[in-house]
Chains A and B, each alone.
Chain A
Amino acid sequence: MKRTATARILLLTVVWCTSWINVPAQQPRPAEPNETLIRNATLLTITHGTLENSDILIRRGKIAAIGKGLKAAADARVIDAGGKFVMPGIIDCHSHSMLDAINEGSLSVTSMVRTRDVLNPNDVDLYRALAGGVTSLNLLHGSANAIGGLNTVVKIKYGHPIDEFIFPGAMPGIKFALGENPKRSNSTVLPGVTRRYPGTRMGVEEVIRDAFTRARDYKKTWDEYRAAVARRDKNLIPPRRDLQLEPLVEVLEGKRYVHAHCYRADEILMLINIADEFGFKVKTFQHVLEGYKVAKEIARHGAGASIFADNWAYKIEAYDAIPYNAAIMTRAGVVVSMNSDSDERARRLNIEAAKAMRYGDLTEEQALKLVTINPAIQLGIQDRVGSLEVGKDADLAIWNGHPLSVYSRVDTTFIDGEIFFDRQQDLAQRADLLKERAQLEQAEPNRPPARGVSPQAPRGRRPSHADDDLWEGDIYQP
Chain B
Amino acid sequence: MPRVQLRLLAVPVVLLLVVTSSILFVEAQRSGTDTYAITNARIVTVSGPVIERGTVVIRDGLIAAVGADAAVPADARVIDGNGLTIYPGLIDANTSLGIPEPSPSPSPAAGQGGGFVAALLRPATSSTTTSNSTQPAGLQAETLAEDLIKPGGDPIEAERSAGITTALTAPRTGIWIGQSALINLAGDTPQQMIVRSPVAMHVGFTPLRGGYPGSLMGVFATLRQMMLDAARYREAQRVYEQSPRGLRRPSPDRSLEALLPVIEGRMPVVMYADRERDVQRALDLAQEFKLKVIIAGGSESWKLADRLQKENVPVLLSLNFPRRTTAAMPEADPEPLRVLRERVAAPKTAGKLANAKVRFAFQSGGMTTITDLVANAAKAIENGLSKDDALRAFTIGSAEIFGVADRLGSIETGKIANLTLTRGDLFDRNSRVTHVFIDGRPVDLRPVTATGPGANMAAGSWTLTVDLGQGELANTLTLQQEGERLRGSMQGALGSVDIANGSVGPAGEIRFTVPVTLEGQTTEATFTGTITGNEMKGAVNITGRAPGSFTGRRASAPAPPAPSGTPAPPGNISVSGSATNLIFTFERD
Contact = CB atoms under 8 A, between A and B. Distances in A.
Interface in A52-100: 100
A237 B239 contact: yes
Nearest to B333: A458
Interface stretch (A114-122, A273-281, A343-351): A114-122
Nearest to A451: B505
B111 A192 contact: yes
Most buried by A among B211, B214, B329: B214
Interface string B90-114: 0000000000000000001001110
Interface in B360-401: none
A193 interface: yes
Interface string B483-527: 011000000000000001101110001010000000000000000
B327 A440 contact: no
B319 to A, nearest CB: 13
Contacts of B328: 448, 452
A440 B343 CA distance: 9
A464 interface: no
A101 interface: yes
A65 B465 CA distance: 76
A181 B305 CA distance: 43
B337 A117 contact: no
A114 B221 contact: yes
B121 interface: yes
A49 interface: no
A445 B121 contact: no
A113 B217 contact: yes
A221 to B, nearest CB: 13
Most buried by A among B220, B236, B306: B220
B235 A447 contact: no
A431 interface: no
A11 B556 CA distance: 59
B340 A437 contact: yes
A112 B225 contact: yes
Nearest to A441: B340
Contacts of A103: 215
Contact of A118 (B217, B250, B302, B324): B217
A455 interface: yes
A119 B246 CA distance: 47
Contacts of B589: none
B198 interface: no
Given A190-B113, A442-B500, A236 B221 contact: no
Contacts of A445: 321-324, 343-344, 346
B215 A444 contact: no
Nearest to B243: A235
Q: Please classify how large the interface on chain A is, using the bins under 10, 10 to 19, 20 to 34, 35 or more.
A: 35 or more
A169 interface: no
A227 B321 CA distance: 57
A272 B500 CA distance: 67
B218 A113 contact: yes
Contacts of A190: 113, 117-118, 121
B16 interface: no
Contacts of B113: 190-193
Interface in B201-255: 210-218, 220-221, 224-225, 228-229, 232, 235-236, 239-240, 242-243, 246-247, 250
Contacts of B112: 191-192
A329 to B, nearest CB: 32
Nearest to A234: B243
A205 B504 CA distance: 66
Interface stretch (B64-72, B275-283, B416-424, B563-571): B275-283
Given A105-B215, A193-B113, A112 B221 contact: yes
Contacts of A458: 333
Contact of A454 (B247, B324, B327, B580): B327
A475 B327 contact: no
A453 B327 contact: yes
A449 B503 contact: yes
A110 B326 contact: no
A236 B220 CA distance: 29
Interface string A449-475: 111111110100000000000000001
A348 B277 CA distance: 29
Contacts of B131: none
A437 B121 contact: no
B212 A449 contact: no
Contacts of A241: 228, 232
A387 B243 CA distance: 62
A345 B250 CA distance: 53
A80 to B, nearest CB: 33
Nearest to B231: A241
A477 B121 contact: yes
Contacts of A100: 216, 277
B527 to A, nearest CB: 14
B191 interface: no
B217 A448 contact: no
Given A101-B215, A238-B232, A458-B333, A453 B121 contact: no
A106 B121 contact: no
Contacts of A115: 217
Contacts of B325: 449, 452-453
A448 B330 CA distance: 12
Given A105-B214, A436-B337, A446-B335, A26 B303 contact: yes
Interface of B: 108, 111-113, 117-118, 121, 210-218, 220-221, 224-225, 228-229, 232, 235-236, 239-240, 242-243, 246-247, 250, 276-277, 280-281, 302-306, 321-329, 332-335, 337-338, 340-341, 343-344, 346, 484-485, 500-501, 503-505, 509, 511, 580-581
27 contacts: A25-B304, A26-B304, A26-B306, A101-B215, A101-B216, A105-B215, A106-B212, A106-B213, A106-B214, A113-B213, A113-B217, A113-B221, A114-B217, A192-B108, A235-B242, A237-B235, A241-B228, A437-B334, A437-B340, A446-B324, A446-B340, A447-B501, A449-B503, A450-B503, A450-B505, A452-B324, A478-B211
Q: Would you list the 5 A-B pairs with minimal beta carbon distance, nearest first?
A: A450-B503, A452-B327, A113-B217, A448-B328, A455-B332
Interface of A: 24-26, 100-107, 110, 112-115, 117-122, 141, 149, 162, 190-193, 234-238, 240-243, 433, 436-437, 440-456, 458, 475, 477-478
Given A113-B221, A162-B277, A446-B343, 11 more contacts: A110-B212, A113-B217, A114-B217, A117-B220, A118-B216, A237-B247, A443-B344, A448-B327, A449-B325, A450-B484, A477-B214
